[in-house]
Amino acid sequence: MTIRVLRVLTYLRKKLRLPNDPDSIRLSTERIRDSAEIAGVNLWVLVIAIFIACLGLNTDSVTVVIGAMLISPLMGPISALGLGLGINDWELIKRALRNLIVAALLSLITSTLFFIISPMKDAGQMLLSQTSPSLYDVLIAFFGGLASIMASSSKLRASNVIPGVAIATTLMMPLCTAGYGISIGEWRYIAGAIYMFFINSVFIGTATFLMVNLFGYPKVSIHDRKKRKRTRTVIATLLVITFIPSVYLTYHIVTRYFFEKNANAFIKNEVQDKDHFVITKRLLYNRNKPVIELSMLGQNIDSIQYTELVKKMPGYFLGHVGLVLFQGQDSKVAAKSYFDQVSSGLEMNNAAIQNLYRRVDSLQKITNQQLYVDSLEYKIARLVHTIDTSIQTVRVSNIIAYNMTKARKDTSWTAQLQFNRIPVPADRNKMTELVKEKLGLQNLQLRFD
Residue 233 lies in a domain: no
Residue 253 lies in a domain: no
Cα–Cα nearest to 331, from 280, 275, 263: 280
Residue 399, H or E segment: strand 391-403
Residues 33 and 181 in one domain: yes
Please report whether residue 210 resides in a domain: yes
Q: Using the 3D structure, point to which of 221, 238, 259 is the last residue of a domain.
A: 221
Do 444 and 421 share a domain, yes or no? yes
CA–CA distance, 256 with 334 (Å, rounded to integer): 23
**Could you tell me if residue 3 is inside a domain?**
no
CA dist list (Å): 171 to 71, 155, 381? 12, 25, 72
Q: Are 24 and 155 in contact (CB under 8 A)?
A: yes
Query: Does one domain contain both 55 and 153?
Result: yes
Within-domain flag for 280: yes
- Of 330, 354, 371, the one marking the end of a domain is 371
My answer on whether 202 and 331 are in the same domain is no
Among 238, 240, 367, 201, smallest CA distance to 296 is for 367
pTM, full prediction? 0.57
Domain that includes residue 38, residue range: 20-221
Q: What would you measure as the largest C-alpha separation in the chain, in angstroms?
A: 121
Q: Who contacts 399 (Cβ-Cβ below 8 Å, separation ≥6)?
A: 411, 412, 414
In the chain, how many domains are there? 3
How far, in Å, CA of 385 to CA of 382, rounded?
Answer: 5
| Same domain (yes/no): 393, 423 | yes
Same domain assignment for residues 406 and 339: no
Distances in whole angstroms, Cα of residue 155 to Cα of each of 15, 32, 204:
15, 15, 20
Give yes or no: residues 320 and 438 share one domain.
Answer: no
> Are 386 and 352 contained in the same domain?
no
Residues 409 and 348 in one domain: no
At which of 178, 195, 221 does a domain end? 221
Q: What is the pLDDT along the chain (449 residues), one digit of tens a residue?
A: 566 666 666 655 665 565 566 777 777 788 888 888 888 888 888 888 888 888 888 777 777 887 777 777 888 888 888 888 888 788 888 888 888 888 889 989 998 998 888 877 666 677 777 777 767 777 777 777 777 777 766 655 544 455 555 555 567 888 888 888 898 888 888 888 888 888 888 888 888 888 887 777 887 765 556 666 776 677 677 667 766 776 776 677 778 888 888 999 998 888 887 777 787 788 888 777 888 888 877 777 877 888 888 888 888 888 888 888 877 665 555 555 555 554 554 444 455 455 555 655 655 555 554 444 446 777 788 888 888 888 888 888 777 776 666 666 677 778 888 888 888 888 888 888 888 877 777 777 888 87
Q: What strand order describes the sheet that includes 391-403?
A: 391-403, 408-419, 444-448
